[in-house]
Chain A
Amino acid sequence: MDPQLLENLNGLLDKEVDLREKIREQVNELDKKARTMVGLLNKIHSTSPEAIPALLDTVRPHLSGVQSVTLSLSEIIPQNQFWRWKDMWTNSLRTVVFCAALVEYLSTRALLSLPDAAKIIGVREEWSDRIALPVEDYLHALISLVNELSRLAINSVTLGNFEEPLKISQFVKELFAGFSMLNLKNDLLRRRYDSLKYDIKKIEEGQS
């Protein structure tokens, strides 16, 4: 190989490594926030309905804190390279969206929409080639939401709250109906979707 070419290639590869490290830093930050929120939200299983709003209020600052990470990522990631780097933060971001959806459900009993989820994590339309919230990740977050709510249905009964499973059941069934409209390929989303029926069964048991 021509020495000049060799040097160019090595230079480019070094740059990629630098970029990866910069992204990694932000992803670590995102991951910390996601874990903090999951930790806080874990308390819903042992919190009485009256105390839930106060608990959710402790989560909200962390949720909005995600926006600064999103902003940094939008600055670091080169134009048109969202999909190139996305795998690095996919898991953390799904967890964050799951937390946002859970907070939304417990506050308003409504499904957090994809555009609203994007707004909460601070993704802007004009950054879509650098940072975005793809449908797949949103759907994964919703499945995590169902998983979590099926636990909550059981644990609410333990706490003496017999209303909760009924509400959750209705919400989850509708989501499940939505998921069954999708033509899923044999991938992770499919496998996780298949597991939803066990969640529904669990919730229904909590009702009786």
Chain B
Amino acid sequence: MQSKTTESLFQTFRDHLDSHHDTRERLIKASRDITNISKKTIFALHRIALEEQDRQVQHPGRNAAIKAYESLSEVKAIYEKLQPELEGDSFWRYERQVSPGLQEYIEALSFAHYLNHGSLITYDQVQETLLDSNGTPYFPLTIADYLLGLSDLTGELMRYAISSITKKGGRERAMSICAFVRRCRSDFERMTPYIRELSKKQAVTTQSLEKIEDAAYTIVLRSSEYELPPDILDDIVAQVIATHSSGRIDLTMD
């Protein structure tokens, strides 16, 4: 073995490793940016949807969703730029760096979709938002990312249900979210063995579900006790919730 060959050999290895690490760092940074955009979008969705309920517009949440789609198009722009680095097999090489941001994006997107349509966004609908101008996916969407993103959605829905339970029509909304989250949970259950992180998220979904169920239960209990018209009941609920700071709803009125 001559030193010269060893040196030039390791030179190529160095270049290779450097470029790999650079790509990795870029993707981690991009994933963080995408997470930030998505988180902000989720906050905005909550905020605007609640405002819309206050103003009693016909389909509260719809405008929020439209604004969310707009801000999520920034995510698309980031993926567009990353496309060359994720082509072919590269996506799989860097999947662990891409996934966190992607799941956050799916969470935000599915929340907007729910507020807009009242339904669960499908796998194809998510993939459709991640296509370049030729209709080619930026990267293959994995079922794991899709499901894990949706699994986080249930937590947002729980927050949404509880914070809007005091608004007009809030109890009805909480009921339908409750049923929706329950369906999500049972749909995901069979897929849990295939996807490592899903079982942990299922546990969180179960907790969220229980919180909504408790809230719904308390409200049913109270409304049967008081036999009040829904409007007045709404006001009572609003009053009680306003004085209540912890996450659990407990409508003790005396």
Residues of A within 8 A of B (CB): 1-2, 5-6, 8-10, 12-13, 16-17, 80-84, 109-111, 113-114, 129, 135-136, 139, 171, 174-175, 177-179, 181-185
The answer to whether B143 and A182 touch across the interface, beta carbons within 8 angstroms, is no
Given contacts A84-B92, A171-B1, A184-B17, contact A113 B143 (CB under 8 A): no
The answer to whether A10 and B6 touch across the interface, beta carbons within 8 angstroms, is no
In the bound complex, how far is the Cα of B184 from the Cα of A20, in angstroms?
Answer: 27
Residues of B within 8 A of A (CB): 1, 3, 6-7, 9-11, 13-14, 16-18, 21, 88-90, 92-93, 95, 120, 122-123, 143, 146-147, 183-184, 187, 190-191, 194-195
In the bound complex, how far is the Cα of B7 from the Cα of A175, in angstroms?
Answer: 9
The answer to whether A181 and B143 touch across the interface, beta carbons within 8 angstroms, is no
The answer to whether B17 and A183 touch across the interface, beta carbons within 8 angstroms, is yes
Which label, helix, strand, loop or mixed, suits the secondary structure of the A interface?
helix
The answer to whether A182 and B17 touch across the interface, beta carbons within 8 angstroms, is yes
The answer to whether A83 and B6 touch across the interface, beta carbons within 8 angstroms, is no
Q: Give the contacting residue for A5; candidates B6, B88, B122; CB below 8 A.
A: B122
Query: Can you report 7 residue pairs joining A to B where beta carbons are below 8 Å apart?
Result: A1-B183, A5-B123, A82-B92, A111-B1, A136-B17, A175-B6, A181-B10
The answer to whether A13 and B123 touch across the interface, beta carbons within 8 angstroms, is no
The answer to whether A113 and B194 touch across the interface, beta carbons within 8 angstroms, is no
In the bound complex, how far is the Cα of B122 from the Cα of A166, in angstroms?
Answer: 66
Q: Which residue of B lies closest to A179 (CB)?
A: B10
In the bound complex, how far is the Cα of B195 from the Cα of A8, in angstroms?
Answer: 16
In the bound complex, how far is the Cα of B121 from the Cα of A2, in angstroms?
Answer: 10
Q: How far is the CB of A192 from chain B (nearest CB, A)?
A: 14
In the bound complex, how far is the Cα of B6 from the Cα of A12, in angstroms?
Answer: 46
In the bound complex, how far is the Cα of B1 from the Cα of A154, in angstroms?
Answer: 22
- Which chain B residues lie closer than 8 Å to A110 at the CB level? 1
Q: Give the contacting residue for A1; candidates B10, B13, B120; CB below 8 A.
A: B120
The answer to whether B9 and A113 touch across the interface, beta carbons within 8 angstroms, is yes
In the bound complex, how far is the Cα of B183 from the Cα of A109, in angstroms?
Answer: 66
- Which chain B residues lie closer than 8 Å to A80 at the CB level? 88-89, 92
In the bound complex, how far is the Cα of B147 from the Cα of A13, in angstroms?
Answer: 12
Q: Which residue of A lies closest to B25 (CB)?
A: A185
The answer to whether A9 and B191 touch across the interface, beta carbons within 8 angstroms, is yes
The answer to whether A81 and B89 touch across the interface, beta carbons within 8 angstroms, is yes
Q: Which residue of B lies closest to A136 (CB)?
A: B17
The answer to whether A177 and B120 touch across the interface, beta carbons within 8 angstroms, is no
- Which chain B residues lie closer than 8 Å to A181 at the CB level? 7, 10-11, 14
Q: How far is the CB of B66 from chain A (nearest CB, A)?
A: 24
- Which chain A residues lie closer than 8 Å to B143 at the CB level? 9, 12-13
- Which chain A residues lie closer than 8 Å to B92 at the CB level? 80-84
In the bound complex, how far is the Cα of B6 from the Cα of A171, in angstroms?
Answer: 10
The answer to whether A129 and B88 touch across the interface, beta carbons within 8 angstroms, is yes
- Which chain A residues lie closer than 8 Å to B95 at the CB level? 83-84
In the bound complex, how far is the Cα of B9 from the Cα of A177, in angstroms?
Answer: 11
The answer to whether B89 and A139 touch across the interface, beta carbons within 8 angstroms, is no
- Which chain B residues lie closer than 8 Å to A13 at the CB level? 143, 191, 194-195
The answer to whether A10 and B122 touch across the interface, beta carbons within 8 angstroms, is no
Given contacts A9-B191, A129-B88, A174-B6, contact A2 B122 (CB under 8 A): yes
In the bound complex, how far is the Cα of B11 from the Cα of A84, in angstroms?
Answer: 28
Q: Give the contacting residue for B187; candidates A6, A12, A83, A185; CB below 8 A.
A: A6
Given contacts A2-B122, A135-B16, contact A17 B10 (CB under 8 A): no
Top 7 closest pairs, chain A to chain B, by CB:
A178-B10, A83-B92, A83-B93, A84-B92, A1-B187, A13-B194, A181-B10
Q: How far is the CB of B147 from chain A (nearest CB, A)?
A: 8
In the bound complex, how far is the Cα of B18 from the Cα of A8, in angstroms?
Answer: 40
The answer to whether A178 and B6 touch across the interface, beta carbons within 8 angstroms, is yes
The answer to whether A182 and B10 touch across the interface, beta carbons within 8 angstroms, is yes
- Which chain A residues lie closer than 8 Å to B17 at the CB level? 135-136, 182-184
In the bound complex, how far is the Cα of B194 from the Cα of A10, in angstroms?
Answer: 9
- Which chain B residues lie closer than 8 Å to A10 at the CB level? 190-191
Q: Which residue of B lies closest to A3 (CB)?
A: B187
Q: How far is the CB of A155 from chain B (nearest CB, A)?
A: 22
In the bound complex, how far is the Cα of B9 from the Cα of A183, in angstroms?
Answer: 14
In the bound complex, how far is the Cα of B13 from the Cα of A17, in angstroms?
Answer: 35
